[in-house]
Amino acid sequence: MSAHAPLPRRRIPVWRTVIGVGVLAFVLTLLYEVMTGQIRRFEVISNSMAPTLNEGDKLLVVQPKQYLVDDIVVFSRPEAPKTLLIKRAVVRGPARVETRGGYLYVDGARSDPPQGDYPDRSTPDNAWFLQADEFFLVGDNRMGSMDSRHFGPIPLTWLKGILVLKDED
């Protein structure tokens, strides 16, 4: 019988171990968020957010730690809570919001949509005072959007997530 000498062990470089652990942590986190509903996929079914989002666009939405003004958010529709809508958060309370002459005013200053839409004269003049935990959500296509100008501010608890990725198939 011949005795075999043990094979020398190859050391794995530290950088490879760090990258491997990082990739594994990322994959496990992503899997956890998908399984717990913190990451969801949606498809746009109207043009109320055009030109930013168009009918047929596929979206990836996540639950953030905090919602900010200018976030594009998914939320429960006030009169049908199981129905979800997507709009832009244009105001977070506390604030005074008015619709006057087809324009939106926040604390007295006019707030135009990102693409410089025309005034929506079909929107009745109205005013709201938003509490600290309320948002005013408006479609980018203001002339073709049913939003907070019609149903008022939305409480933070009704928000389901923010848009993080858009696929324009």
Give the model's pLDDT for residue 1. Answer: 55
Q: Which residues, other chains included, contact 85 with Cβ-Cβ below 8 Å and sequence gap of 6+?
A: 48, 74, 75, 76, 77, 137, 146, 147
Give the model's pLDDT for residue 30. Answer: 63
Long-range CB contact pairs, 24-32, < 8 A, 24+: none
Domain boundaries 39-167, corresponding CATH code: 2.10.109.10
| Domain parsing of the chain, residue ranges | 39-167
Give the model's pLDDT for residue 117. Answer: 61
What angle (nearest 5°) sits at the alpha carbon of residue 116, between those of residues 64 and 67? Answer: 10
Which amino acid type is present at position 63? Q
Give the model's pLDDT for residue 10. Answer: 78
Each of the 169 residues of the chain gets a pLDDT tens digit; together they read: 556 777 777 787 888 778 877 887 777 766 666 666 667 888 898 999 988 999 999 998 988 989 999 999 999 887 887 889 999 999 999 999 999 988 889 999 988 776 666 677 778 899 999 999 999 999 988 888 889 998 999 999 999 999 888 776 6
Give the model's pLDDT for residue 115. Answer: 63
pTM for this model (two decimals): 0.77
- The per-residue pLDDT for range 126-151, each reduced to its tens digit, is 999 999 999 999 998 888 888 999 89
